[in-house]
Chain A
Amino acid sequence: MAGLKQRAIGAGLAAYNWVESRLGLIKPMTAAATHPTPASNASWWYVFGSAATVLLMLQVMTGILLALVYSPSANEAWSSLNFLNHNVALGWYLRALHGWGSDFMIAIVLIHMVQVFLFGSFKFPRELTWIIGVLLLLLTLGMAFTGQVMRFDQDAYWGLGIGASLASRVPFIGASLVHLMLGGPTIGGATLSRFFTLHVFVIPGLLLAGVGVHIWMTLFHGVSEWPMPGRLVRKATYEREYQELTAKTGIPFVPDAAWKDAVFAAAIIFAVMACAFFFGPIGPGGPPDPTIIQTAPKPDFAFLWIYAVLAYLPPSIETPVILVVPVLAIAGMLLLPVLNGEGERHWARRPVAVLMVSVIAVSLGIFTRLGAYTPWSPIMGAWTSEPVPPKYLHGRTPLERQGAVVLQNKQCRNCHILDGAGGQRGPALDDVASRLTEDQIIRQILQGGGNMPAYGKALNPSETKALTQFLETLRGPNVSPAVDASRDMTEPKTGPTGH
């Protein structure tokens, strides 16, 4: 028996030697995997990069499988997704994995970036690793946007329209950019084909190559050690210090540090699987038929904040902001390690960095939240579905009730809440009479102002009268209507007040 075992081991070894003497990769790769790394970075904080890579592999795998059925033609894309959802065995689950995998990947990439930023790991000698990382983030977002187009439903169609409208704002070459993006004068088959090419060939190729370079540089410089307050990065001394630290506290990356990466990656993949199973595939929504206008297009989660920002930018500065701010933001991220490559790494000594992360995270959160429920959008059906609450009709005069009908018919509630129902584009009307005087109400209705269109042409005088009378009754109990205080003061005097 022992002889057999010996012989088996011997044969295995011989086979290994045969392969390795020809391949020449196993030894260097084993050496790379087991390279010593400072014990301080075998931490749960250092697991996000590898998790993002594993998610990328998941996306590649599920993407290839989806491509077996998906038809990248404007004619058939939408139906082929429904076919995947309903007719192909487990097609729905593959779509769900790919969709949720994408959301998770964006989240993990962002967390990885924040961790690297707060730990100061982008400083010397890892500047280029950070720069490549920024490009990888942009490519990931590019995958998310082009992936949303692959879903080729209503949201994808109008999302392309938004993209084209943004591109059209570039001076001089706007029209050419629109045509380049759409592949023609309108959104159509050519548009889907080029986004398919981007989503399936161009961006994944760049992404995989970039990840390769990113990981190579991580191996080349070693994983950054846990930052210590007061331990400064200096170009002259850092590399020697890092080597000394590694020599003193080094543990082999595989297996002593890598088990945490592996556990976290498994947890993340399991989370994607669970989300995919319980929440199912994302879309497709309505068919990409531009004549179906009963739709409120919305981008995917990762872009909701942009959608919200675009709603709040005043028209006068919108184009410059759209064109300049992204360039500055990306340039800032790329230049960060070049301008700030030395010095303190620990977050406790970098208050500006912490403040920046907090402000950006909170703003992104707020805008995403706003983008999710779009308070600026008129609620297109509010006037038909939400009658004027009866409590606002009790004890009202016929004229005032007539005004309530006008309010209903003129779709005021598309933008104004009454008793909790209606749009939030304009202010709630429940207590409008205690905020505005009668004159102000009339002026606001007829001439508009702020965000409100003028209704002078849409209302005849009797409708205006009735509407004003009704609005005058809208104030809290025991609250008197707003009056123009200056009227009392000016009325006794007769001379012109001079304004």
Chain B
Amino acid sequence: MSEVPVQPVVDDSGPTPEAKAAAHSRRSFLFKLSLLLNGAVGAVLAVPLVGYLLGPTTKKSSAVGSWIGLGPASQFPVGETRLVDFQSPVTSLGDGQTAKVACWVRRISAEQFQVFAINCAHLGCPVRWFSESKLFMCPCHGGAYYEDGSRASGPPERGLFEYKYKLAGDSLVIHAGEMPTLATQASCNEKPLIQIEPASTATSTRPTPWQV
């Protein structure tokens, strides 16, 4: 490195110490300039790279998901809590079985429902309903919830997550999308822009407007 041949940019033919120093300071300036240049290019390059990486975080939670039918309301007897499977409305390529979702539907009266996420409010394990003791129990750390989803005991700090639901004609419809956690609650806060009518309502005899 120390034996760098003298570049033609140096006027003098002999590599005097002064000339070396002048050339050095010029080259080191150019090197600093090149660092700056690379910094600038890197910063511009980072925008698409980081943007790509952070892509999933930019979607607003409330904008995720859509309304989805769970089938005719008549399949849920009043006073009972039943497990229902549905296909997640936000599935993407190659989700396989993980695109399926389960939820607990409790019918309180003819018009009143509660639709609970199966994900425990503690750390997301699947809770199970025990109709005799009227409790949801979690297999992971022993969280328990009452039939209305409120916390009964154990590590959860709150009750079960609930999906927003409506009755569309004869059909029970919920709003689903996010995996419910403490930060991404199950129910959506806003009315979605597009309401996808579930297939079962299309065949229903009297299409009623959505009831909130």
Contact = CB atoms under 8 A, between A and B. Distances in A.
A266 interface: no
A451 B183 contact: no
B114 interface: no
Given A73-B94, A157-B98, A316-B157, A185 B139 contact: no
A414 B130 contact: yes
Nearest to A193: B94
A179 B141 contact: no
B128 A293 contact: yes
A180 B53 CA distance: 8
Contacts of B3: none
Given A161-B124, A161-B125, A295-B126, A185 B141 contact: no
Contacts of B147: 457
Interface string A419-438: 00000010000000000000
Interface in A175-221: 175-180, 182-191
Interface string A161-182: 1101111111000111111101
What interface size band does chain B fall in?
35 or more
Given A190-B56, A378-B144, A158 B181 contact: no
Contacts of B125: 158, 161-162, 297
A452 B142 contact: no
Contact of B126 (A188, A288, A293, A377): A293
Contacts of B118: 290, 293
A328 interface: no
Interface string A262-298: 0000000000000000000000000111110111110
Given A414-B130, A414-B137, A448 B152 contact: yes
B102 A158 contact: no
Interface in A391-413: 409-412
Given A158-B124, A457-B146, A291 B101 contact: yes
Interface string B89-101: 0111111111111
Contact of B139 (A169, A295, A410): A295
B58 to A, nearest CB: 8
Nearest to B130: A411
Nearest to A376: B142
A187 B98 contact: yes
Interface in A302-333: 307, 310-311, 313-316, 318-319
B64 A189 contact: no
Contacts of B137: 378, 380, 414
Interface in A433-474: 448, 450-455, 457-458
A58 interface: no
Contacts of B142: 311, 376-378, 415, 425, 451
A380 B144 CA distance: 12
Given A411-B130, A457-B134, A175 B184 contact: yes
A185 B140 contact: no
B141 A377 contact: yes
Nearest to A189: B94
A450 B92 CA distance: 44
A157 B179 CA distance: 12
B92 A315 contact: no
Contacts of B127: 293
A203 to B, nearest CB: 16
Contact of A411 (B98, B132, B182): B132
A458 B132 contact: yes
A186 B96 contact: no
Contacts of A453: 135, 144, 146, 152-153
B123 A310 contact: yes
Contacts of A180: 54, 56-57
Contacts of A169: 182-183
B61, B93, B94 — which one has the most chain A CB atoms within 10 A of its CB? B94
B162 interface: no
A380 to B, nearest CB: 6
Interface string B182-195: 11100000000000
A23 to B, nearest CB: 22
A450 B144 CA distance: 12
Contacts of A336: none
A75 interface: yes
A118 interface: no
B65 A185 contact: yes
A74 interface: yes
Given A290-B100, A291-B100, A453-B144, A296 B57 contact: no
Most central of B93, B97, B179 by chain A CB within 10 Å: B179
Contacts of A410: 132-133
A184 B177 CA distance: 10
B83 interface: yes
Contact of B183 (A76, A178, A458): A178
A179 B56 CA distance: 6
Contact of B64 (A162, A185, A414): A185
Contact of B96 (A166, A183, A184, A189): A189
Nearest to A180: B57
Interface of A: 73-76, 78, 157-158, 161-162, 164-170, 174-180, 182-191, 287-291, 293-297, 307, 310-311, 313-316, 318-319, 376-378, 380, 383, 409-412, 414-415, 425, 448, 450-455, 457-458
5 contacts: A185-B59, A295-B126, A296-B140, A410-B133, A454-B146
Given A75-B94, A178-B183, A186-B90, 7 more contacts: A73-B94, A74-B94, A161-B119, A176-B57, A179-B56, A315-B157, A376-B142
